[in-house]
Amino acid sequence: MTASTESTGPGTGTTKAPAKDPWDLPDVSGLVVGVLGGTGDQGRGLAYRLARAGQQVIIGSRAAERARTAAAELGLGVEGADNAECARRSDIVIVAVPWEGHGATLEALREELTGKLVVDCVNPLGFDKQGAYALKPEEGSAAQQAAALLPESRVTAAFHHLSAVLLSDPEVEEIDTDVMVLGEKRADTDLVQALAARIPGMRGVFAGRLRNAHQVESLVANLISTNRRYKAHAGLRVTDV
């Protein structure tokens, strides 16, 4: 037995591989990222940041012309297409559509999203005179709804707590925040963590399986309240990891 292996039991003669470093993440620089809802504030901001980091990005919209117009405004090699083409041409697809159209959009793209790594960042929220409050979908969360509608896709959840204002501001060089990443398979969440890390100042942190997505999505309501009180663009940092 070498110094780098560890016996799994007395007399077994077998060894246990060293634990994988949780920060040993894959290279995602060559992957194409599609952003469904890329003409909205959140999607457009994510598209801009990823393209600025050197990622190939395609913006998706229900109207291809609208997507192409938004892509031209962003520059940085960003392309625009209708949602179906965006999904087909992308390796990773970020879902940034409004909650009201979430289910219908994904159901219509089930074939195009087959086999794709899907990253849901939709926050089901309601608003009244007291401010923002969380909604709970029948499936438990937006991410779980996506997983139910896309059984042949690899669904994860991430990018919920980002300020669209900071994402879109060209004067902001770094965005000081962690990205909570949820999913069922480590290989998939590692890819999403690595994608988040492409944006200067960001770090992707594994935060559990999709069954835990509701509280992550819901926390946005609290951040909205924080931002209104303090006139800020608050994000999150996870300590001691």
| pLDDT of 181 above 80 | yes
Sequence letter at residue 200: P
- What is residue 5's predicted lDDT score, i.e. its pLDDT? 41
Q: What is the pLDDT of residue 11?
A: 54
Q: Is the overall model pTM greater than 0.75, yes or no?
A: yes
pLDDT tens digit string along 31-61? Answer: 999 999 988 999 999 999 999 999 999 999 9
Q: How sure is the predictor about 16, in pLDDT bands with cuts at 50, 70 and 90?
A: confident
Q: Is residue 89 packed enough to be buried (19+ CB in 10 Å), middle (13-18) or exposed (0-12)?
A: middle
Q: What is the pLDDT of residues 90-114, one digit of tens each?
A: 999 999 999 999 999 999 999 999 9
User: In one letter, which amino acid is 223?
Assistant: L
Pairwise CA distance, residues 165 & 157, whole Å: 21
From residue 182, how far is each of 12, 210, 222 by CA, in Å?
36, 6, 19
Phi/psi for 122 (5° steps) reads -80, 135
**Predicted pLDDT of residue 38:** 87
Predicted local distance difference test score (pLDDT) of residue 12: 56
> What's the pLDDT score for residue 15?
75
Residue 164 has pLDDT above 90, yes or no: yes
pLDDT in tens, 187-221: 999 999 999 999 999 999 999 999 999 999 999 99
Q: How much is the pLDDT for 14?
A: 67
Average pLDDT on 136-148 reads: 97
Q: What is the mean pLDDT of residues 66-73?
A: 96
3-state secondary structure 87-118: HHHCCEEEECCCHHHHHHHHHHCCCCCCCCEE
**Could you count the other beta carbons within 10 Å of the beta carbon of residue 75?**
10
